[in-house]
Amino acid sequence: METIKLKTNIKCGGCISAVTPYLNQSVGEGNWQVDTQNPDKVLTVKTEGVSADAVQKAVQQAGYKAEILS
């Protein structure tokens, strides 16, 4: 299982609610979380077979920014 981390502008519960359907469809329910306490608002995704680009695109479809962390 691969772990992908992205810096986002998802900053609150309302934002998380907005991205939930997109991320659940892309990587599956329970396979992601956003650390809103972290200054970088890090989205951590545990996945098999889903690329970081696909996760980034799902976040962008919800209207938020996501930058892959190296």
The 10s digit of each residue's pLDDT in 17-66 is: 999 999 999 999 999 999 999 999 999 999 898 999 999 999 999 999 99
Which domain range does residue 44 map to?
A: 2-68
Number of domains the chain contains:
1
pTM given for the model: 0.94
Q: Which two tokens stand for residue 27?
A: 């990587």
User: Which CATH number fits the domain that encloses residue 27?
Assistant: 3.30.70.100
- Asked if pLDDT for residue 70 goes beyond 80, the answer is no
The CB-side HSE value for 45 (13 A sphere, CA atoms) comes to 30
Measured at the alpha carbon of residue 41, what is the angle toward residues 9 and 37, in degrees to the nearest 5? Answer: 130
